[in-house]
Amino acid sequence: MTLQQLQSTYEQAKAKKLALDMSRGKPESAQLDLSNDLFDPKWVTPPTAESGLDCRNYGVLDGIPECKRLFSELMGVPAEQLIVCGNASLNVMYDYLTQMMPHWYFQDDGKIKFLCPVPGYDRHFGMLAQLGIEMINVPMLADGPDMAMMAELVKDPAVKGAICVPKYSNPEGKTFSDNVVRAFAALQPACPNFRVIWDNAYLVHDLYDESDALLNVHEAAKEFGSEDFFIEVCSFSKITFPGASVSCVAASPANIAAIKARMNVQTIGHDKLNQLRHARYFKDLAGIKAHMRKHAELIRPKFEAVLDILARDLTGIATWTVPRGGYFISLDLPEGTAKRTAQLLKEAGVTLTPAGATFPHGQDPHDRNLRIAPTFPPMEELIVATELLTVCARLAIAEK
């Protein structure tokens, strides 16, 4: 299209007064419907866990046995090394950070730095910013973060940890290679209680039958004696209901003991009926995987529709990732055009995750990255929004 054609297409779209939302990685309604059978009372009847515990009553801090077993199989971690938690794994990460903050604070005159692979997850950066933690950008390479750079940076004792999404990363959909996972395990941080928040949010969220393989970080750590580095979390948020989920944290025996010691005074415990519901509904990992294939059937066409439009309109102009799982497509435009693209798009009624959000403090140093979340809008709206996105991108590039 010529510039004139782009402009006229844009003006026509604007006149339609659209109100489309591609901002968050939200499941669409049809995905939620896949789990409606969870409402059946049979899953909580009788409400008694395998251990004999009445899940309606008080008791048990770390999760009921059948739910621990399910997470154990899902995460590949012994049941003794995990704690089943409440609705949001974000809350589990935040809690863990607040547990560590006083320890870290008194080590180096209050200096606390975290390594942040970028582009990354905006809510991770939001947590760290609010806790006053200084964030250091580490670029994502083809198979994960720049581990040579990380190995250097951890020599600073003020670097207390890192945070990342190792599989189908947010927003790029990349899965860390075995070498990258091993390089994490091999880090030699100066900080004595260095921690990596290993946010395994998309561990079974495949778009295709064949899943990306992620090396088990707890196993890799055994080789290097670095088991205590890793705090892994995941949840059923994008498996069943983001609004009523069950989450989990897995870590070394020492870390689990520390979390439990705090939990013991922190809470009476998490929702056990929802644990029972999920454990009985899925039974095992095969049950989860069968369920995830239904999700994939619903959202794969959406990812492919977006990718087709990007290929048609932006080849040679921009680059983007082609994820095989997760919830996002990461689009890199020419330097200095992402913000303007998002602004044009917004003025035409399409909301994206704000340009820059995939970097700490919302500061994309190259102003080029946009995160596309294809799952929530209906297909027709998604196509309209994505086509408009490429129009806006080309206009922004032309302006520059």
Residues that bind a second copy (CB under 8 A): 24, 26-27, 29, 32, 35, 39-41, 44-45, 47, 54-59, 86-88, 90-91, 94, 98, 123, 126-127, 129-130, 237, 241-245, 262, 264-274
Q: Which of residues 20 and 397 has its CB atom nearest to a second copy in the complex?
A: 20
d(C-alpha 295, C-alpha 239), whole Å: 8
User: Residue 60: CB partners within 8 Å, gap ≥ 6?
Assistant: 49, 51, 53, 269, 272
Q: Which of residues 46 and 316 has its CB atom nearest to a second copy in the complex?
A: 46
Nearest distance from C-beta of residue 109 to a second copy, angstroms: 14
Nearest distance from C-beta of residue 397 to a second copy, angstroms: 33
Q: Which of residues 98 and 179 has its CB atom nearest to a second copy in the complex?
A: 98
Any bridge partners for residue 114, and if so which? 135, 161
Q: Are strands 134-141 and 329-332 parallel, antiparallel or unpaired?
A: unpaired
Q: Which of residues 13 and 256 has its CB atom nearest to a second copy in the complex?
A: 256
Q: Which of residues 94 and 202 has its CB atom nearest to a second copy in the complex?
A: 94
Q: Torsions phi, psi of 317, nearest 5?
A: -105, -40
Dihedral sign computed on CA atoms, order 334, 340, 346, 351: positive
Nearest distance from C-beta of residue 267 to a second copy, angstroms: 4
Q: Strands of 369-372's sheet, edge to edge?
A: 319-320, 329-332, 369-372
Q: How far apart are the first and last CA of the chain?
A: 17
- Residue 135's Cβ-count burial label (10 Å; 0-12, 13-18, 19+) is buried
Dihedral sign computed on CA atoms, order 184, 187, 190, 193: positive
Give the pair of three-digit tokens for residue 156.
């600073």
Nearest distance from C-beta of residue 125 to a second copy, angstroms: 9
d(C-alpha 224, C-alpha 377), whole Å: 45
Nearest distance from C-beta of residue 268 to a second copy, angstroms: 4
Nearest distance from C-beta of residue 123 to a second copy, angstroms: 7
Nearest distance from C-beta of residue 12 to a second copy, angstroms: 30
Q: Which of residues 56 and 222 has its CB atom nearest to a second copy in the complex?
A: 56
| Kind plus residue range of the DSSP H or E element containing 134 | strand 134-141
Q: Which of residues 137 and 237 has its CB atom nearest to a second copy in the complex?
A: 237
d(C-alpha 221, C-alpha 232), whole Å: 13
Q: Which of residues 177 and 235 has its CB atom nearest to a second copy in the complex?
A: 235
- Residue identified by tokens 């689990």 is 256
Q: Which of residues 142 and 268 has its CB atom nearest to a second copy in the complex?
A: 268
- Residue identified by tokens 């044009």 is 344
- Residue 39's Cβ-count burial label (10 Å; 0-12, 13-18, 19+) is exposed
Q: Which of residues 130 and 179 has its CB atom nearest to a second copy in the complex?
A: 130
Nearest distance from C-beta of residue 266 to a second copy, angstroms: 5
User: Do residues 397 and 334 lie in contact, with contact meaning Cβ atoms separated by under 8 Å?
Assistant: yes
Q: At what angle do helices 379-399 and 3-15 cross, to 10 degrees?
A: 140
Nearest distance from C-beta of residue 32 to a second copy, angstroms: 4
> Residue type at 214?
L
Please name which of 313, 306, 262 lies closest in space to residue 171, comparing C-alpha atoms: 306
Nearest distance from C-beta of residue 244 to a second copy, angstroms: 4
Nearest distance from C-beta of residue 167 to a second copy, angstroms: 19
Q: Which of residues 262 and 312 has its CB atom nearest to a second copy in the complex?
A: 262
Q: Mapping DSSP to helix (H, G, I), strand (E, B) and coil, where does residue 76 land?
A: coil
d(C-alpha 72, C-alpha 143), whole Å: 26
